[in-house]
Each structure stands twice: as C-alpha cells, then as structure tokens.
C-alpha cells in the first residue's frame, strides 16, 4: 500500500468534517472533475489536428447499484496514466486542473471552462463513501489503471481494464447509521434515481457536457389488432438513457434567442413561484471581473417575506456550477425580494467552493446589481405605473425600511421610488409629483399617519391643511413615519443646468407647530391663551401627566379639540411601538389643543367662570378622549368615557 503524500488521515478528517458543510455536494464535485477531464480532451482536440473528436461524443454518466451500494460517475475525458493517478489522487490538494488552467490560460476561450482549483473536491467522496475505486485510461494509451482507497492511511494502484479512454469513479457508500462525528445519516438517499437526478439538477444542471443517467419510464403498449371497443390502454415500464442537465444556462443565451415564456418558466421552476415575474432583466459584464446575471422582480410577495425566517440572496454560480443557493451578500436588505442568478468564472472561491475568498469581488458585483435593480424600478415607475403600484403594494415597505435602518443615508437612492396616497389628488403619488403640484410658498411636505386612508381623510387637522391649499400624504404603513423621520427633508432633483431647489422638511400634521396660521390668527391664539390661563391650568390638573400642556390651537377650524405631540415621538409612533416588546414604554408628549372659536369652548369658559369644577372636569375628560378616538388612539377607560357621555345626555 502506498502512503498519501501528506498527513492524509488528519487532512481528510479535517476536510470531511470541516471544509464541507453539506454531504450531498460530493456529486457536484465529482461531476465537476469529470467535466474538467472532458474539457481537457476537447481542448487537446482543438490543438492537435490528429485527434478527430466532436463535442457531441463527450459526456458524463451517473449510475447506481442499490444492492452493491455503489454510485458511479464516469466520463469520456482525457483519462489518467498510472503516474497521473499517483500524482493527482495520491497527493491531497494537488490540482491538475489548476495547473492545466495556468499552463493554457491564453489559449482557453469560451470552448473550454475548467472548474477545478484546489484538488480536494475528489476527496469529498469520502464524506459518503467507505471506499473509492477509480478506474482510468488515458487518451491514446492501451493501459488502464485502478486507484483504490478507504481514505484512511493510503491507497493502492493496480492494473485494470477499461474499453475506452476516460475515468470511472466508483463509490461504495457507507452504511446507514452513526457517523464519526456522532450524527446519523441516511446514505440510501444517494441510491435512488430520484435522489441522484435531484442533485444533478440542483448543483450541476448547467455543466457544459451532458450528464446522463439510465432512468425508468412508462409507455402505453400498442393496441392489439383484435381489441374490442371496451379495450383499456395498458402500460409497461422501460429504461433509457436520459440527459439530466440543461447544459446551457438561460442567462448565457442571447436575449434574442430566449422568449418571455422561457424566462417565465425558468423563474417559476427554479424559484418555486406559480406566478410570472413582474419584470425580467439581465446584466452582462466583461473586464477585470466578468459575470452574467439574470434577475427577476416577483409579481407577488412570498408569504414569509417579512418574517425572521426569510432568507434573501441570489443563486451564485461559478463556471455554471452552483456554489450557493442564496448568496446574501449580492443583495441589499431593501431589495431582498429580488430573485435571480449571478454566474462568474472569475470568482475566487474558498477551498470548499461554498463561499468566496475575496469579498471585494462580491461587493463589486453587488453594487452593479443594486444599481441595475434601481434603474429597472424607475423604468417601471415611469413607463408602467399600474404595474409599479402593484409592485409597491407588495414590496414598498422594504424600500421604506431601507431608508429608516440606514438612518436616511439611502434616501437619495430610494426616496424617488416611494409612493404615498395624496389627500388632494386622491391617488398614489411620488414625492416629486407631490412637490410638482405644491404651491410655490409651501414650506414643508405634510403627511398624516394612521391605520386607514378613510380615517385619516376625515381628521380635522388634515382638513385644516387642505383648506390652506396644501396637500397631505396619507400614510398607513407602520414604517411610513419612521421612514420620514429618518429622511428629515426631501427636495426635487435639479433640472438640467439649474441649481437644486431647497429641500422641504417632512412634517406630521399632528406633531409640533405647522406654522400655517396667519399673524392675526397667531395673535388671537396668544390672547385667548392668556385670557383663559386659569381654565387651561384647571384642565391640565384634570388630565395630569396624560398631557404636557393644554393650549389654544391655531390649526383647528371645525373640531372642538385635538391631541398633538410636541416631542419626537408622535401619536402614531406611540401606537405602533406599543405593539412591540421594547416599545411599550415609549410615550409621546401629548398636547391638548382647544379650538377657542368653537361653541364647546364657550361652555367650558362658562363652567370655569361659574366655579363648577365638576363640569370642567367632565368636559375636559370627554374632549380629551374624543380627540384620542379621532386620532385612532386607545383611551384608558372606555367605561368611564361612556358614563361621562351618558351623563351629558341625561
């Protein structure tokens, strides 16, 4: 027995239990090696005119024997001599494919695509096999040789027979049960037609050569000539060799050669959706980092999009071989809904081919992908508004959340994509469309946040702002106000050759001072506040810590009172945060604003002047609770409120 040329037992144990995290990728590695072997022979045929070889003669076969517990991967590639078997398989981490790539770097083109890099993929077979036998016959040689090992101490090389050039890798699978690491494993999964076909489709669907298997099928038997009218069709089972993989990735085909139906079918099949995508677009980049990307914007949100279990990411391929089903680094969180693939042969993979060595490459691709998605969304917004509104209904929350979680740093990229319901125009508008319709003297972008558009449209404060000639954005998503708070301001983009206009502050109509009152109205409010200081003090005493102050409102026209928030936490924020474990204690600084021109105020004044403290208390509590109800806020004691209203009616 020959010893491995490294401390094989330690290295193999490290590789099997540490380098690879998924046992099923052994088939991906063996098929990739077979593809490299076929590629080498095909490359040789391109440079040696004596070798008459067509690409259609080259293939990879996968088979299994359930009784013998073997899985075999065979190729019709260049094969190996005895010395090459010893050098390539006897020295762990020696990559003949990498040496081939380096020696022929300038000669390779689209016709040759060597996958191997590290020379360890073959040994992943020992994750599932208790022994491996490799039978190989080099092209042009009359001799075949067999390499055998249990992956522990060493290996043997002996004479063998093989009819044609190429290599057979025969794995004798481990018995079901306990592994060396104490975990149980069912290796029978790899001894079924369905199991192997699934792995080929999943990891090696786009290997450039046919991956073939003998598969079971059924067909209808010919109808006998003497069959009567009551004849029922009979079926028989048979087997035939099928090509399992697609070979040519759809993202590498010319767009003119692919129909929309083919793109849609690929999307629905590979990303498990029953609906066609809303948009399909691609990227083809060449240069220092070459890659292809095929991206899809779904037409509907998956049920778990906003759950903690949802995992974003694009499928990452290297030389048509699946590396990661969902590479999270390729998508920013705010575009987590995008599906698709990225394929590059320039990526520097780690030894297991499951992650990347150099994240700078990934970041460069991710940056281009993000820009492309943004551009496509803007195109959809401008050219297909109805479709875009459906998109925003499904995924707009994520765009707003992206602005909020970035503390407003992403607003220049994402704010133009947002849509909000306009109270004046009664339709969804962008922020730019809101500003285009705004009066020249408008000082802020006004919005109201609440549970429903109908309720917000009826709010007294909203109607006051509308009466002044200014539009109000009615925001019903729980993230809307947090997004606006992070943005702080928004301004129109500068027209060509002009300076950008001054951005406007985003203001909640129920928070702070709106500065909509005329000087005369402000003066009247100040005088009313001074004249009725005793009344407001009494009302503040009735409400206690529930409000920070009671004052005369300069924003109300028809309603007797309203509740506003003086601090950074609005009433709507308080309502939303109350539903979270960490936000229950977050309270707004409430202000009860009284309409000094309303008839109810006259009743309050009369009660105060008559010294009727009970009536002042009753009216104050009713007004405050009514104002909370109008704002969509819960009241502390609904029974007490109902009793107070009943008392007024009696």
Token readout for 21 is 């995290």
Cα separation of 454 and 457, whole Å? Answer: 5
pLDDT digits (tens, 9 = 90+) for 113-160: 544 443 467 888 888 999 999 999 999 899 999 999 988 778 899 999
How confident is the model over 584-603, as a mean pLDDT? 88
Instruction: Clarify whether residues 49 and 173 are in a common domain.
Output: yes
Lowest mean pLDDT, pick from 304-308, 393-397, 608-612:
304-308
* pLDDT of 178 over the 70 cut: no
Q: How many helices (H) and strands (E) does the chain have?
A: 19, 25
Q: Which residues face 507 on adjacent strands?
A: 446
Distance of CA 536 to the CA centre of its chain: 54
Strand residues in 88-185 grouped as ranges (E): 129-137, 144-149, 154-160, 166-173, 177-178, 184-185
Report the distance separating Cα 162 and Cα 137, nearest Å: 7
Does 327 map to a domain? yes
The alpha carbon of 414 is separated from its chain's Cα centroid by a whole number of angstroms, namely 16
What does the pLDDT read at residue 255? 86
Q: Of 147-161, 508-522, 603-617, which gets the smallest average pLDDT?
A: 508-522
Locate 102 and state its tokens.
């380096």
Query: Which residue from 383, 512, 387 is spatially nearest to 446, judged by alpha carbons?
Result: 512
**Phi, psi (degrees; rounded to nearest 5) at 269:** -75, -50
Residue 476 belongs to a domain: yes
In the chain, pLDDT over 70 holds for what percent of residues?
88
- Domain assignment of residue 58, given as a range: 2-217
Q: How many residues does the chain have?
A: 650
Whether the Cβ atoms of residue 488 and residue 409 lie closer than 8 Å to each other: no
Closest by Cα among 293, 287, 267 to 372: 293
- Least confident range of 97-106, 145-154, 343-352, 454-463: 97-106
What is the token pair recorded at 584? 């229950």
What's the token pair of residue 20?
């690879």
Asked if 459 contacts 631 with a C-beta cutoff of 8 angstroms, the reply is yes
- Does any domain span residue 236? no
> Are residue 645 and residue 597 in the same domain, yes or no?
yes
Q: Where a domain ends, among 473, 508, 543?
A: 508
| Beta-carbon contacts of residue 520 (< 8 Å; ≥ 6 apart) | none
Contacting residues for 54 by C-beta, under 8 A, at least 6 apart:
none
Which residues are CB-contacts of 104 (< 8 A; sequence separation ≥ 6)?
43, 112
Same domain for 36 and 23, yes or no, is yes
Residue, of 617 and 46, whose pLDDT is higher: 617
Identify whether residues 570 and 607 lie together within a single domain: yes
Same domain, yes or no: 200 and 78 = yes
Higher pLDDT among residues 99 and 484, named by residue: 484
Query: How confident is the model at residue 114, as a pLDDT?
Result: 42
CA gap 176, 166 in Å, rounded: 31
Both 266 and 308 in one domain: the answer is yes
Residue 245 included in any domain = no
Which of 574, 573, 618 has the alpha carbon at shortest distance from 600? 618
CB 616 within 8 A of CB 542: yes
- Number of domains the chain contains: 4
Q: Are residues 136 and 160 in the same domain?
A: yes
φ/ψ of residue 536, rounded to 5: -65, -35
Q: Which of 128, 131, 126, 122 is nearest to 187 (CA)?
A: 128
Contact 554, 517 (CB under 8 A): yes
Helix (H) or strand (E) holding 501: none
| Domain identity same for 533 and 392 | no
Q: Region 159-173: what's the mean pLDDT? A: 94
Same domain as 544, residue 525: yes
The confidence score (pLDDT) of residue 21 equals 64
- End-of-domain residue from the set 508, 542, 565: 508
pLDDT tens per residue across span 214-234: 999 999 999 888 888 888 888
pLDDT in tens, 492-507: 766 666 677 789 999 9
Q: Binning pLDDT at 50, 70 and 90, where does residue 349 land?
A: low
What value does the mean pLDDT take over residues 519-526? 85
Residue 88 located in a structural domain: yes
For 25-46, write each residue's pLDDT tens digit. 899 989 999 998 998 888 888 8
**CATH assignment of the domain containing 412:** 3.40.50.11260
Write down the H helix ranges in 151-234. 193-203
3-state secondary structure of 69: coil
pLDDT of residue 98: 45
* Same-domain status, 433 and 303: no
pLDDT of res. 61 = 95
pTM: 0.77
Tokens (6 digits) for 415? 């704010």
Average pLDDT over residues 466-486: 94
Q: Which range (96-105, 145-154, 336-345) has the least confidence?
A: 96-105
Last residue of a domain, one of 383, 414, 432: 383
429-435: average pLDDT: 96
Indicate which CATH number applies to the domain containing 326: 3.30.230.80
What CATH number is given to the structural domain containing 45? 3.30.565.10
Q: What is the CATH number of the domain that holds 619?
A: 1.20.120.790
Position 224 in a domain: no
Report the SS3 class of residue 124: helix
For the chain, the helix, strand and coil percentages under 3-state DSSP, each to the nearest 5: 40, 20, 40
Q: Is residue 230 part of a domain?
A: no
H-type alpha helices, 295-384: 359-383
Alpha carbons 323 and 206: distance in angstroms, whole number: 12
Instruction: Tell whether 229 is covered by a domain.
Output: no
Mean pLDDT of 76-97: 78
* Whether residue 274 is found in the same domain as residue 398: no
Instruction: Give Dmax over CA atoms of the chain in angstroms.
Output: 120
Judgement on whether residues 366 and 431 belong to the same structural domain of the protein: no
């Amino acid at each position: 027995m020959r010893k491995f040329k490294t401390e094989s037992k330690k290295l193999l144990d490290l590789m099997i239990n540490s380098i690879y995290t998924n046992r099923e990728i052994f088939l991906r590695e063996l098929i990739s090696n077979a593809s490299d072997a076929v590629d080498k022979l095909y490359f040789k045929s391109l440079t040696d005119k004596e070798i008459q070889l067509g690409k259609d003669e080259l293939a990879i076969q996968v088979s299994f024997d359930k009784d013998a517990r073997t899985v075999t991967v065979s190729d019709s590639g260049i094969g190996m001599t005895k010395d090459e078997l010893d050098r390539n398989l006897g020295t762990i981490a020696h990559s003949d494919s990498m040496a081939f790539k380096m020696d022929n770097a300038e000669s390779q083109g689209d016709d040759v695509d060597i996958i191997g890099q590290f020379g360890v993929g073959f040994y992943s077979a020992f994750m599932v096999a208790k022994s491996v036998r490799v039978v190989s016959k080099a092209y042009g040689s009359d001799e075949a040789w067999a390499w055998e090992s249990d992956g522990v101490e060493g290996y043997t090389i002996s004479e063998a027979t093989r009819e044609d050039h190429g290599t057979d890798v025969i794995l004798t699978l481990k018995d079901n049960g306990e592994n060396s690491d104490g975990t149980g494993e069912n290796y029978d999964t790899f001894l079924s037609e369905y199991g192997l076909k699934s792995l080929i489709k999943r990891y090696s669907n786009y290997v450039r050569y046919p991956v073939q298997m003998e598969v079971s099928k059924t067909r209808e038997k010919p109808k006998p000539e003497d069959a009567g009218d009551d004849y029922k069709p009979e079926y028989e089972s048979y087997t035939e060799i099928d090509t399992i993989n697609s070979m040519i990735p759809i993202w590498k085909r010319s767009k003119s050669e692919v129909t929309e139906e083919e793109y849609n079918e690929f999307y629905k099949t590979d990303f498990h959706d029953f609906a066609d995508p809303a948009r399909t677009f691609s990227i083809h980049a060449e240069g220092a980092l070459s890659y292809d990307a095929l991206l899809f914007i779904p037409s509907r949100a998956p049920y778990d999009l906003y759950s903690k279990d949802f995992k974003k990411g694009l499928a990452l391929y290297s030389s048509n071989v699946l590396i990661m089903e969902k590479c999270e680094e390729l998508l920013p969180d705010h575009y987590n809904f995008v599906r698709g693939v990225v394929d590059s042969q320039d990526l520097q993979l780690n030894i297991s081919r499951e992650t990347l060595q150099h994240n700078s490459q990934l970041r460069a691709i991710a940056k281009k992908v993000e820009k492309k998605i943004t551009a496509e969304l803007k195109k959809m917004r401008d050219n297909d508004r109805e479709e875009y509104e459906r998109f925003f209904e499904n995924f707009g929350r994520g765009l707003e959340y992206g602005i909020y979680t970035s503390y407003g740093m992403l607003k220049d990229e994402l704010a133009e994509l947002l849509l909000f319901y306009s109270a004046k125009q009664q339709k969804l508008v962008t922020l730019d469309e809101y500003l285009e319709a705004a009066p020249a003297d408008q000082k802020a972008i006004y919005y109201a946040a609440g549970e429903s558009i109908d309720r917000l449209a009826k709010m007294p404060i909203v109607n006051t702002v509308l009466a002044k000639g200014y539009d109000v954005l009615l925001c019903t998503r729980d993230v809307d106000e947090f997004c606006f708070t992070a943005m702080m301001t928004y301004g129109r983009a500068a027209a060509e050759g002009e300076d950008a206009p001054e951005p406007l502050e985003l203001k909640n109509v129920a928070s702070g001072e709106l500065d909509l009152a005329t000087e005369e109205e402000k003066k009247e409010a100040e005088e009313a506040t001074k004249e009725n200081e005793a009344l407001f003090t009494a009302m503040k005493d009735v409400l206690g810590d529930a409000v920070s102050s009671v004052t005369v409102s300069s924003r109300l026209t028809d309603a007797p009172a309203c509740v506003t928030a003086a601090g950074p936490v609005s009433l709507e924020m308080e309502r939303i945060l109350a539903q979270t474990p960490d936000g229950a204690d977050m309270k707004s600084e409430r202000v009860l604003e009284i309409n000094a021109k309303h008839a109810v105020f006259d009743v309050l004044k009369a009660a105060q002047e008559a010294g009727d403290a009970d009536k002042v208390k009753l009216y104050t509590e009713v007004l405050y609770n009514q104002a909370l109800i109008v704002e969509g806020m819960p009241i502390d004691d609904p029974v007490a409120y109902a009793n107070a209203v009943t008392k007024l009616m009696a």
